[in-house]
Amino acid sequence: MSDELKDGRSTDAALEEWLAYSDEPEKLNESRVDVLSVVSVALAVVVLIGIILLRPTGESQGQSEQLTALGVPSQFHAAEIVAIENIPCAGAPNDTCQRVAFELIAGPDPGYVYHQDFTPGKLTPEFNVGRSVVLSYVTPPGKIDEIQSEPCDFDSDLTCTTLTIFLGEGAEMRRTEFQISPSETDTIFSPKEPVLVNLFEGPDDELEIVSISRVDPSLQYQFSDFQRRGSLFWLALVFALLVVALGRLRGIFALAGLAASVIVLLQFVLPAILDGRSPVLVAVFGAASIAYLALYLAHGFTRMTTVALLGTLAALALTALLSTVVVETAHFTGLATEESALLTLFDRIDVRGLLLAGIVLGAVGAIDDVTVTQASAVWELRDANPAFGVRQLARSGLRIGRDHISSTVNTLLLAYAGASLPLLVLFVLSSQSLGTVANAEVVAVEIIRTLVGSIGLVAAVPFTTWLAAYAVHRGSK
C-alpha cells in the first residue's frame, strides 16, 4: 500500500468509513485522480445524458385500452375457492365437469361469488377448496358520470333521463351523452356506475351509443392463475438472508444493487420502449446504468471496481454492435412468439429492436460477473507476489480467466436451453433434423443469444485482465 494512500486515509476518515466494507486495499481517493477514474466519470456523464434523452415521457399511456379491446384483461384480483361441484358437461352430458365457486376478496365486487365450469383433461388445473387464486377482470368500457332529467330530444313534452358517460380511460377518455326515453327506463342506473355500452362510430370518428346495460360480473371475471405471492415472498426472504449472512455488509449492498437494477428496468427501460424509443439504445444505456449501480454498490468505490466496470462497458458495447450485425444478416423478424406478434398492434414498439435489446440485457449480468472475477484475481495475484510485473500478472490472470470462461459459456447455453426446453421437446417429437430445428427463428434466436453473449464474455476476459494488471501495477508504485 502506497504512502500517499495512507496519507489520504488519515485526512479523509469519512471516506474510509464508507469504504470499510471492501477488502480492496487500493482505494480511489481525492488525492489521487488517475486515468481510470477520469474515464469512468466521463462515461458516467455520457450514460446520464443518454438516460435523460431517452427518458420515458408517458406517451404510452392509454395503450392498455387496445389490449382490453382485444379481450386481454388489464386487471387481476384476488379470490378464494369456496366450493367445488361435479356436474354434467354442457353439450356432453355423459362427461363430468367441475363447477368451481370463487369468492372475490378484492376488486370492484368484494364478496361476489363467481362460478366457472372446467372440462376434464390434462390442461385443467387441480382445484382445492380454500386455495387462493387470481381472477382476471375485463374493465367495463363505460362509466356513468351524471344523471339528469330533461325534455326528450324527440318530444319536448316528455321527460327523458340523460346519462353523461365516460368511455375509456386516461388520455383516450371520451365524454358522451345517452338519452333514455320514459318507455325504456326499466333499469335504474346510478352515478359512478360502470356500464356496458353498444357503440356506433358515426361521421368524423364520433362515437354514438346505441344501447347501454348494467355490468354482469359473471361476464367480467375469469380464472387466471393460482396465487403464488406467498411462496415468492418467502423464497426471496430466504435468498436475502443467505446473501446477508455470507456477505454481511457487502451482501446488503449487493441486494441494494439488485434493487437498483429492478428499478432501472421498471422505471426506465420498459416505459421508454413503450414510448417508442429505440430498444437497442434503451437497453445499452439501461444496462450501463445497471452496471454502474450494481458494481459500485456491491464492491465499493475502488480501483478494482472501476477496472471491472470499464471491462463490462467495453464488452457491452461489443455485444450490442455484434448483435445488431448478426440480427440484420440473419433476417430475424422478431415475430417468433405469440407475445411478439401481439406487440405489432402497437405502432410505437419496434419488435426487432426488442430482440436486440433482449440479447444485450441478457448478456450484461454474465459479463459483469466475469469482469469482477478477473479484476479480483489480478489483485489477489499481486498481493500473493508483489514482485509480479504487468506481463506476469496478465498471464496468470488469463489462465484463471480461461477456466472461468469455459464454465460460464456452458452456463449460458444451459440457461437458454432450459428456458426453451418445452419447445425443443416439440421439435424432437416432430422428428426434424438438427439443421431444420436450428434454422427455426425461435431456436435460432436462442443460439444467437448464446453465441453473441459468449463472444462478449470472451472479449471481456483479456481486456479486463490487462487493464487490471496495468492498474494494480501502477497503483503499487
Reduce the DSSP state of residue 159 to 3 states and report it. strand
Distance between CA atoms of 409 and 394, rounded to whole angstroms? 21
Residues 6+ apart with CB under 8 A from 197: 141, 142, 165, 167, 178, 209, 211, 212
- pLDDT for 237: 94
Torsion angle of alpha carbons 427, 431, 435, 440, nearest 10°? -30
| Sheet of strand 194-201: strand arrangement | 174-180, 159-167, 142-151, 194-201, 207-214
- pLDDT for 8: 44
**Which residue ranges make up each domain of the chain?**
73-139+222-226, 142-208, 242-475
Distance between CA atoms of 303 and 34, rounded to whole angstroms? 10
- The grid cell for 454 is 459468449
CA-based nearest residue to 274, from 346, 219, 168: 346
What are the DSSP E strand ranges found in 207-265? Answer: 207-214, 221-226
CA-based nearest residue to 393, from 298, 470, 280: 470
| Per-residue DSSP letter, 172 | G
- The grid cell for 464 is 479486463
At residue 246, φ and ψ (nearest 5 deg) are -85, -45
Q: Could you tell me if 193 and 141 are in contact, meaning their C-beta atoms sit under 8 angstroms apart?
A: no
Q: Could you tell me if 449 and 365 are in contact, meaning their C-beta atoms sit under 8 angstroms apart?
A: no
Instruction: Give pTM, 2 decimals.
Output: 0.71
List the helix and strand counts (H, then E) for the chain. Answer: 16, 10
Q: Is the dihedral of CA 468, 366, 369, 269 positive or negative?
A: positive
CATH of 73-139+222-226, one of 3.30.2310, 2.40.50, 2.60.40, 3.30.2450: 2.40.50
**Largest Cα–Cα separation, the chain:** 105
**What would the CATH number be for the domain defined by 242-475?**
1.20.1640
- The grid cell for 27 is 482505494
Distance between CA atoms of 334 and 356, rounded to whole angstroms? 9
Distance between CA atoms of 331 and 339, rounded to whole angstroms? 19
Distance between CA atoms of 306 and 471, rounded to whole angstroms? 10
pLDDT (tens digit, 0 to 9) for every residue of the chain, 477 residues total? 444 444 444 445 544 543 443 444 444 433 344 788 888 999 999 999 999 998 887 765 555 555 555 556 778 899 999 999 998 887 777 888 899 999 999 888 888 899 998 888 877 888 999 899 999 887 777 777 788 888 887 777 888 888 888 776 655 567 777 777 776 655 677 777 777 776 665 555 566 677 777 777 777 888 988 998 888 999 999 999 999 998 888 888 888 888 988 999 888 988 888 887 888 889 899 999 999 998 888 888 888 899 999 999 999 999 888 888 888 887 777 666 666 766 766 767 777 778 788 888 888 878 888 899 888 888 888 888 888 888 888 888 888 888 777 777 777 677 767 777 777 777 777 777 777 777 777 778 778 887 888 888 888 888 998 988 888 876 643
| Per-residue DSSP letter, 27 | B
Same fold, 73-139+222-226 and 242-475: no
- CA distances to 57, 283, 340, 354, 371 from 274, in Å: 10, 13, 13, 11, 32
CA-based nearest residue to 390, from 475, 304, 470, 476: 470
| Per-residue DSSP letter, 19 | T
- The grid cell for 279 is 430498444
Q: Could you tell me if 311 and 318 are in contact, meaning their C-beta atoms sit under 8 angstroms apart?
A: no
Residues listed for the chain: 477
What are the DSSP E strand ranges found in 278-360? Answer: none
| Sheet of strand 75-89: strand arrangement | 113-118, 92-104, 75-89, 132-137, 221-226
Q: Could you tell me if 309 and 40 are in contact, meaning their C-beta atoms sit under 8 angstroms apart?
A: yes
